[in-house]
């Protein structure tokens, strides 16, 4: 009966899709692009030439001062002046280099700082790899456990004595976690089961539920014990906190502020959205109060007021007070960023989560916050960059961070009045740090964009 | 096409799945649900239709407590629901919901969308959850898209993911709120086919939809609502072909 239809009606044309063509490529090379962009009209050409000339002189002067006429080897400022009066005197910065990086940390113990920073980076390395066991816990463990390792290395003392047993135990657990993390990484690359599964057969003989968790805990404790035994054999020279300084201290303060900003910010932001009046008003007061006050006053308040409010027998050093202040400050700003992200999440996401049966915590942690944070990456990164720069303010209340060390150079009798070179060096250093952070944020944004 | 292929015909004994008793809801002074009462049997396919603003969404969302209501009782399998934990548990264990605009989680892959509830709420192992989700995705014909993100799918595909995500929690009752209204005509069919398949498995379904063809084909009963009231309830051939009320007739003339 199909034949009948075909005969009566005109045959339908058959649609054949046009074959795809490769996309258009630009044929212009570097020179083509420059000519097209910069010399496409007389006015533009003139402008290009003017700017190029100005740029050339600027760069030439800077290079003359910083490189060609600069002095790299000298004993004091006078010698520098004699050798080359109109060049930079890097010799001063070089002779103070150690101080700029480590502050007044004893020279013989500086390896501990290096190891500590290295450990911190090594800990985060697994984040680079896409699929490795325990990856979800890397960041969490870093935030929760790394500070103990850092504290142990930087403060020193006999194991479990000066810093207390709890701190010692946490240090061992932290190191044990790191060991398991890396062992698992290697084992999984070899196609073997993770170290934390070691006791699964044994544990499964005694219990039926949570076998994997129990096995993990058992392995963790065991490795921790071994490490504890190892650590108890060595005693590190104690280094008091007021010897900490330089870039090292800046990193500690900024690193603490940056890692605490998101957790504190999330708590404050969620608190502000809470339906419970007490929590709502409390969060709001903290956010608005801290945000309406310059960081420098927050710092001063922390140092002068905190000891008054807290019980007298609670001992505080200046660094702890500063860390608390910076953490509050960072959290309050971050809270507003995160609140912006939260507001952009459509109501449907909450409803979908609710119909699946997810509770408040699950909904927030699994559904809402990942999206909100992703959306706010540019703002969050901007906050982080300002935080890194703002932490140099702590020099004003007398912490020997890189800024104060730099200003100290000018007070050294050999290098009296040398202000410019250290500041230039710090500017370059901060530019490199902040620029890489902003590049990383762009990269992160691009990588996460696929999802939308 | 007036022959119904619903489930009720094949079922001898039926239990009441949802019992709605004198439901009343106000938005401020606006009375959006007026004394709504309805029984839905287990395995029944109930289609709810009616003009825009008549309270269809409000009604279906009241069933799983996405909306609060001021008066009336909803019972699920004989259990009257209130606002306590126990009721929430019953709701989440028995009811799944599919939304007009899908509401997939955009930061998770298709597979992760489906396994989320299994791994976090059912505490299922990742491998088991993946297996179960893949089976469901295969059933709705999109297993090959499992590693994509929702933003990379067409509307029809997204809605099918949303259906699989709900089914993964093994609900006894599925609620659909205009599942095809946000879709291009070409994609409507692929979603309706999935729903028809689902209906054949004996799932209890409550669907708000304007797809009258679908209603005639699979519905056991059709509810017609207007101005917050249920005006007519009955088998599709009765409500859609021989309506008793002028309001129903007027509406049908518009949509058919
Ligand atoms: N959040 C709200 N606040 C106030 N009024 C609302 C709200 N949500 C819905 N309404 C009102 O309640 C009534 C019923 O809305 P509902 O969404 O249930 O209608 P509907 O039948 O689903 O319509 P549609 O077919 O357009 O989806 C409408 O008159 C609407 O204006
Ligand atoms: Mg609606």
Specify the pLDDT at position A430. 93
Specify the pLDDT at position A111. 92
| A261 and A114 Cβ atoms separated by less than 8 Å | no
Specify the pLDDT at position A7. 55
Judged against a pLDDT cut of 70, whether residue A349 lies above it is answered with yes
How do residues A234-283 score in pLDDT, each as one tens digit? 888 888 888 888 999 999 999 999 989 999 999 999 999 999 999 999 99
Q: Of the spans A125-134, A296-305, B100-109, which averages the highest pLDDT?
A: B100-109
Specify the pLDDT at position A25. 66
**Mean pLDDT rounded to a whole number for chain A:** 86
Q: Chain B within 8 Å of A95 (Cβ-Cβ)?
A: no
Specify the pLDDT at position A9. 67
Specify the pLDDT at position A71. 87
* A10 assigned to some structural domain: no
Specify the pLDDT at position A8. 64
Residues A259 and A405 in one domain: yes
User: Chain centroid to CA A404: how far?
Assistant: 23
A433 Cβ neighbours under 8 A, 6+ residues apart: A388
Judged against a pLDDT cut of 70, whether residue B193 lies above it is answered with yes
Please state, in angstroms and rounded to a whole number, the distance separating the CA atoms of residues A395 and B77: 68
* A192 assigned to some structural domain: yes
By residue range, what is the domain housing residue A53?
22-66
Q: Chain A within 8 Å of B122 (Cβ-Cβ)?
A: no
Please state, in angstroms and rounded to a whole number, the distance separating the CA atoms of residues A317 and A31: 60
Residues A116 and A265 in one domain: no
Specify the pLDDT at position A18. 84
Strand order in the sheet with B16-27: B30-41, B16-27, B71-76, B79-80
Judged against a pLDDT cut of 70, whether residue B73 lies above it is answered with yes
Query: Which residues in chain A touch residue B106, judged by CB atoms under 8 angstroms apart?
Result: 371, 451-452
Residues A266 and A225 in one domain: no
A21 versus A374: the higher-pLDDT residue is A374
* A6 assigned to some structural domain: no
Residues A321 and A363 in one domain: yes
User: Chain centroid to CA A400: how far?
Assistant: 21
Q: Which of A184, A217, A238 is the last residue of a domain?
A: A238
**Mean pLDDT rounded to a whole number for chain B:** 90
Ligand 1 nearest atom to the CA of residue B58, by list position = 18
Question: Strand pairing partners for B25?
Answer: B33
Judged against a pLDDT cut of 70, whether residue A1 lies above it is answered with no
Judged against a pLDDT cut of 50, whether residue A109 lies above it is answered with yes
Tokens 């709502």 belong to A280
* B144 assigned to some structural domain: no
Cα(B112) to centroid of ligand 1, in Å?
A: 32
* A343 assigned to some structural domain: yes
Contact B92 A348 (CB under 8 A): no
How do residues A28-81 score in pLDDT, each as one tens digit? 677 777 777 778 888 888 998 999 999 999 999 999 988 888 888 888 888 888
Specify the pLDDT at position A419. 86
3-state secondary structure A53-112: HHHHHHHHHHHHHHHHCCECCCCCHHHHHHHCCCCCEHHHHHHCHHHHHHECCCHHHHHH
* A425 assigned to some structural domain: yes
Residue B2 — very low, low, confident or very high, per pLDDT cuts 50/70/90? very low
Residue A352 — very low, low, confident or very high, per pLDDT cuts 50/70/90? very high
Q: Chain B within 8 Å of A451 (Cβ-Cβ)?
A: yes
Q: Which of B155, B152, B160, B153 is nearest to B176 (CA)?
A: B160
Q: Chain B within 8 Å of A243 (Cβ-Cβ)?
A: no
By residue range, what is the domain housing residue B196?
16-100+172-254
Would residue B102 be called left, alpha or beta, if left means φ above 0 and alpha means ψ between -120 and 50 degrees?
left
Residues A444 and A394 in one domain: yes
- Residues at CB less than 6 angstroms from ligand 1: B 27, 30, 32, 50, 52-58
* A84 assigned to some structural domain: no
Q: Which of A221, A238, A255 is the last residue of a domain?
A: A238
* A215 assigned to some structural domain: yes
Residues A270 and A204 in one domain: no
**Helix residue spans in B140-211 (DSSP H):** 155-168, 185-200
SS percent in chain A: helix, strand, coil, step 5: 75, 0, 25
What is the number of other CB atoms lying within 10 angstroms of the CB of residue A359?
14
Model pTM score: 0.82
Q: Mean of the pLDDT values across residues B69-96? A: 92
Please state, in angstroms and rounded to a whole number, the distance separating the CA atoms of residues A253 and A244: 11
Give the number of whichever ligand sits closest to the CA of residue B58.
Answer: 1
- At B92, which CATH number? 3.40.50.300
How many domains in chain A?
A: 3
Q: Which of A219, A238, A257 is the last residue of a domain?
A: A238
Question: Strand pairing partners for B223?
Answer: B48, B233
Residue B110 — very low, low, confident or very high, per pLDDT cuts 50/70/90? very high
Specify the pLDDT at position A232. 85
Residues A273 and A397 in one domain: yes
Specify the pLDDT at position A450. 54
Per-position b or e across B184-218, b if 16+ CB within 10 A of its CB: eeebbbbbbebbeebbeeebbbbbbbbbbebbbbb
ipTM value: 0.92
- In this prediction, what percent of chain A has a pLDDT beyond 70? 95
Specify the pLDDT at position A335. 94
Tokens 């934390």 belong to A196
User: In this structure, what token pair is assigned to residue B34?
Assistant: 């007026």
Specify the pLDDT at position B118. 93
Please state, in angstroms and rounded to a whole number, the distance separating the CA atoms of residues A76 and A89: 9
* A74 assigned to some structural domain: no
Residues A143 and A259 in one domain: no
* Residue nearest ligand 1's atom 26 by CA: B52
Please state, in angstroms and rounded to a whole number, the distance separating the CA atoms of residues A145 and B24: 54
Pick A357's closest partner by Cβ from B99, B162, B169: B169
Residues A97 and A121 in one domain: no
User: In this structure, what token pair is assigned to residue A354?
Assistant: 């609710």
Specify the pLDDT at position B165. 96
Q: Which chain A residue is nearest to residue B123, measuring alpha carbons? A: A210
């Amino acid at each position: 009966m199909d034949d009948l239809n075909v005969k009566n009606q005109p045959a339908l044309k058959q649609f054949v899709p046009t074959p795809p063509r490769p996309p258009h490529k630009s044929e212009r090379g570097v020179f083509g692009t420059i000519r097209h962009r910069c010399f496409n009209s007389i006015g533009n050409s003139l402008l290009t030439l003017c700017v190029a000339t100005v740029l050339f002189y600027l760069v030439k002067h800077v290079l003359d001062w910083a490189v060609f006429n600069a002095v790299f080897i000298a004993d004091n400022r006078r010698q520098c002046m004699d050798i080359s009066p109109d060049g930079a005197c890097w010799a001063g910065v070089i002779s103070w280099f150690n101080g700029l990086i480590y502050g007044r940390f004893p020279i013989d113990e500086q390896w501990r700082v290096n190891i500590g920073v290295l450990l911190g980076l090594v800990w985060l390395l697994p984040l680079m790899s896409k699929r490795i066991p325990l990856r979800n816990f890397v960041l969490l463990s870093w935030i929760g456990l790394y500070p103990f390792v850092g504290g142990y290395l930087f403060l020193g003392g006999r194991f479990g004595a000066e810093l207390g047993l709890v701190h010692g135990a946490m240090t061992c657990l932290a190191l044990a976690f790191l060991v398991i993390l890396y062992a698992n990484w290697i084992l999984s690359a070899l196609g073997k089961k993770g170290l934390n599964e070691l006791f699964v057969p044994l544990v499964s003989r005694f219990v039926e539920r949570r076998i994997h968790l129990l096995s993990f805990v058992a392995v963790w404790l065991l490795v921790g014990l071994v490490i504890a035994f190892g650590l108890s054999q060595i005693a590190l020279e104690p280094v008091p906190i007021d010897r900490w300084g330089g870039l090292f201290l800046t990193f500690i303060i900024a690193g603490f502020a940056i890692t605490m900003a998101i957790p504190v910010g999330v708590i404050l932001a969620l608190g502000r959205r809470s339906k419970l009046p007490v929590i709502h008003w409390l969060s709001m007061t903290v956010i608005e109060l801290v945000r309406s006050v310059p960081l420098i006053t927050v710092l001063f308040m922390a140092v002068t007021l905190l000891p008054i409010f807290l019980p007298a027998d609670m001992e505080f050093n200046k660094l702890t007070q500063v860390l608390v202040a910076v953490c509050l400050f960072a959290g309050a700003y971050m809270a507003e960023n995160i609140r912006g992200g939260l507001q952009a999440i459509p109501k449907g996401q909450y409803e979908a989560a609710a119909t699946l049966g997810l509770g408040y915590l699950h909904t927030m942690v699994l559904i809402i916050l990942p999206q909100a944070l992703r959306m706010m990456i540019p703002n969050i990164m901007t906050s982080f960059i300002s935080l890194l720069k703002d932490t140099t303010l702590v020099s004003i209340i007398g912490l020997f961070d890189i800024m104060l060390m730099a200003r100290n150079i000018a007070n050294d009798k050999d290098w009296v009045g040398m202000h410019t070179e250290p500041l230039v060096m710090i500017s370059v250093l901060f530019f490199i740090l902040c620029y890489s952070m902003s590049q990383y944020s762009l990269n992160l944004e691009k990588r996460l964009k696929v999802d939308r | 096409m007036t022959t119904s292929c619903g489930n009720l015909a094949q079922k001898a004994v039926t239990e009441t799945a949802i019992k709605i008793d004198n439901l009343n809801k106000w938005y401020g002074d606006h009375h959006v649900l007026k004394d709504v009462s309805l029984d839905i049997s287990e395995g029944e396919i109930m289609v709810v239709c009616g003009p825009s603003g008549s309270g269809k969404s409000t009604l279906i969302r009241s069933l799983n407590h996405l909306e609060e209501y001021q008066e009336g009782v909803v019972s699920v399998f004989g259990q009257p629901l209130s606002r306590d934990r126990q009721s929430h548990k019953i709701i989440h264990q028995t009811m799944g919901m599919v939304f007009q605009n899908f509401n997939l989680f955009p930061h998770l892959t298709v597979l992760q969308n489906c396994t989320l509830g299994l791994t976090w709420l059912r505490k299922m192992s990742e491998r088991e959850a993946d297996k179960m989700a893949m089976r469901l995705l295969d059933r709705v014909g999109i297993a090959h898209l499992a590693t994509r993100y929702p933003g990379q799918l067409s509307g029809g595909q997204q809605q099918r993911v949303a259906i699989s995500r709900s089914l993964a929690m093994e609900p006894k009752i599925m609620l659909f709120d205009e599942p095809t209204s946000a879709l291009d005509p070409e994609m409507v069919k692929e979603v309706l086919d999935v729903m028809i398949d689902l209906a054949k498995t004996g799932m209890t379904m409550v669907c708000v939809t304007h797809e009258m063809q679908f209603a005639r084909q699979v519905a056991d009963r059709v509810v017609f609502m207007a101005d917050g009231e249920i005006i007519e309830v009955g088998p599709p051939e009765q409500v859609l072909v021989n309506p008793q009320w002028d309001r129903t007739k007027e509406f049908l003339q518009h949509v058919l």
